[in-house]
Amino acid sequence: MATDRVFLTGASGFVGSHVLRELLARGFAVRALVRAGTLADGAPALPKDGRLELVTGDLRRAGDFARKVNGCRYVVHCAALYSFAARDRAGIDSVNVTGTAGLMAAAGLAGVDRVVLTSSSATVGHERPDGRPADETCYADTDGGYHGSKVKQERAAFAGRAPVVALLPTAPVGPGDWKPTPTGKLIVDFLRGRIGAKAPGRGGMNLVAVEDVARAHAVALERGHIGERYVIGGENLSMDEVWLMLAGATGKPMPSWRVPYAVALAVAYADEVRCSLRRDAVPFAPLEGVRMSRERMFADSSKAMRELDFRPTPVREAIERAVAWYRDRKPE
C-alpha cells in the first residue's frame, strides 16, 4: 500500500532526492537518513511534508541508526560515495561496501519486505565483445576505484539476509546534481567553457534522465523480483553525440580537436600527482575517467522495460533541464 513507510538513504543526494520526491508523490511515508551537516553544505532543501521524517546518521556506523529501520516495510538504499578524487579513495569502500553490509544487516533484523539497492551499470561492465550492449547477465571484472566498489557493494547486499532488488542506473542526468557527480561536472565544465577537446577514441556512454531512475525505484518497491538486477538506462551515445547534445543545450561550440589518448593519460597521471599532494584538490582529469573514455559503456534496459514497465524519456531534455538548473545556481 502507498501508505507504507520507506527507510531511504541518500535523501539529500542527486538520485536520492529525486527518489524521495517520487515516493512522497506516490503517497509513501519516508524515514530518510541524512549525514549531519549535509544540508548546510549546499544540498537543495528537502520537501516540507508531514510524511517525511529525518534521521541523522552515517552509513559507516550503521549501529547508530539501525533501530530506525524498525517499523519500515521497505528500504531504498541510494547513498553512496561517488567520486574519482584521490582524497576519497580510502573512504569509498567503507561507505559503499561496508556501509551497505551494515544496512543490509539492519534491514534483515527489521524484517523488511524488500530492499531496493541503487547499484550501478558499472557492475555489468562495458559493451560485449560482439558489440552488443551489456545487460544483467554480464559482470564487470574490476575491483578498484568507485566502479569496483559498486561491484563489491552488490555482492555485499545479495550476501546479506535482506530481500534485495538491485537497480543498475547508467549515468543519470538532470536537475539537482549539486555536488556534482562526475557526469554532472562534465555538464558544468561544458557550460563554463572548460572543455576544449573531444574525448579520445571511440568511447561512449549511456545517459538516463534522473527522474526516470527515481520512478524505477518506486516501481521496483512493489514489482521488482527479489534477487534480480535491473539495468536502468536511457540512450547509448558516443562521446561525440554527448558533446553535440551539450553544445545544443548550452549554446557553447562543439570542440573541434580530439585529444590523443596518450596525451590525455599523461595529463591524468600529472593530475593524480597534483591531487595526491593537495588533499583538497578536485581532479580535472581523473585517471579512472580517462581510462574509461575509450570504452563504450553501453547498456541494455530491456529487462526493466518488461518487468518494471520502465520507459525512458529523451536524454536531450534531461540535459536541458540540468543546464537550466546549473544556470540558475550560477556555479563557479
Q: Would you say residue 1 has pLDDT above 80?
A: no
Distance of alpha carbon 166 from alpha carbon 77, whole angstroms? 10
Q: According to the model, what pLDDT value does residue 304 have? A: 98
Question: Domains of the chain (ranges plus CATH)?
Answer: 5-176+208-238+296-315 (3.40.50.720)
C-alpha cell at 241: 553525440
Q: Which of 272, 263, 128 is nearest to 201 (CA)?
A: 263
C-alpha cell at 180: 556534482
Q: Would you say residue 258 has pLDDT above 90?
A: no
Q: Would you say residue 155 has pLDDT above 80?
A: yes
C-beta separation of 160 from 97 below 8 A: no
Q: According to the model, what pLDDT value does residue 205 have? A: 93
Distance of alpha carbon 204 from alpha carbon 253, whole angstroms? 20
Mean pLDDT of the chain: 88
Q: According to the model, what pLDDT value does residue 128 have? A: 84
Banded pLDDT at 306 (limits 50, 70, 90) = very high
- At 266-295, the pLDDT tens digits run 876 777 777 776 766 667 667 666 666 667
| Backbone CA torsion sign across 16, 236, 128, 144 | negative
Q: According to the model, what pLDDT value does residue 6 have? A: 98
- How do beta strands 52-56 and 29-34 pair? parallel
Q: What angle do CA 175, 176, 182 make, to 5 degrees?
A: 90
Banded pLDDT at 331 (limits 50, 70, 90) = very low
> Average pLDDT for residues 197-220, to the nearest whole number?
91
Distance of alpha carbon 121 from alpha carbon 90, whole angstroms? 22
Cβ-proximal residues to 280 (8 Å cutoff; 6+ apart), any chain: 87
- At 235-251, the pLDDT tens digits run 999 989 999 999 999 99
- At 85-138, the pLDDT tens digits run 666 666 788 889 999 999 999 999 999 999 999 999 999 988 788 889 999 999
Query: Taking each helix axis from N to C terminus, what angle separates 210-223 and 14-25, rounded to the nearest 10 degrees?
Result: 60
C-beta separation of 177 from 322 below 8 A: yes
3-state SS assignment for residue 236:
strand
Banded pLDDT at 320 (limits 50, 70, 90) = very high
C-alpha distance from residue 77 to each of 35, 59, 98, 114, 214 (Å)? 14, 10, 13, 11, 12
C-alpha distance from residue 75 to each of 227, 304, 307 (Å)? 15, 20, 20
C-beta separation of 178 from 214 below 8 A: no
Single pTM value for the model? 0.90
Which residue has better confidence, 148 or 306? 306
